[in-house]
Amino acid sequence: MAKEKEGATRKEILIAGFGGQGIILVGRILGQAAVLGDHKESTLVQAYGPEARGGACSAQVIISEDTIHYPYVRHPHILVCLSQSGFDRFIDQLSEGGVLLIDQDLVKPGSVDAPIFSIPATRMAEELGRKMMANIIMLGFITAVTGVVSVEAGLNAVIGSVPKGTEDVNSAAYSKGCDYGFAVLKGRKKKATGKTGA
């Protein structure tokens, strides 16, 4: 794992998956939430494999309170993986002290020296009847678990970024991801303090 060099005011996020999952959209919404909602600086660099749909795809997002001079993510503080190939490719770049977020049905992380937060995002989207919304559910989960953008800024960015007429269902998907993330954090806090039950 790479050593962390940047201060707490700068967060580097790498979102990896495959074309067709809406990976770039998640990166774009995160950046918009940071800039328009939280009044921070943000950059987005996107990368595709040789094929668009089904090929490797990643979004590199930097969010900072200061000017961003270099837009590429070298050692992400937050690594989000929605495919096994994305995990295999980028896990060694995760910075020391970084966190890993995964779709638990699509990624088997094995032994990783970092906190892992998992959500069945694709399964939850299928339960909503819209498998394509797994990315928005994951976005809500990222927001809740990492706090890299505020919940309100994230929601407003979702509403402003999705196709007209889908604002309500996308808002519901985002909230579902947030709720799951906050529940995971609450469960870990209870476990850490030795409490059980509700």
The answer to whether 141 and 117 have CB atoms below 8 angstroms apart is yes
Whether 91 has a pLDDT exceeding 80, the answer reads: yes
**1 in a structural domain:** no
- Domain span including residue 174: 10-191
**118 in a structural domain:** yes
**4 in a structural domain:** no
Closest to 144 (Cα-Cα) out of 104, 185, 187: 185
The answer to whether 82 and 107 have CB atoms below 8 angstroms apart is yes
Q: What is the CATH number of the domain that holds 89?
A: 3.40.920.10
Q: What is the mean pLDDT of residues 152-163?
A: 97
**104 in a structural domain:** yes
**2 in a structural domain:** no
pTM recorded for the entire structure = 0.90
Span 21-79, pLDDT tens digits: 999 999 999 999 999 999 999 999 998 765 456 678 999 999 999 999 999 999 999 99
Total domains in the fold of the chain: 1
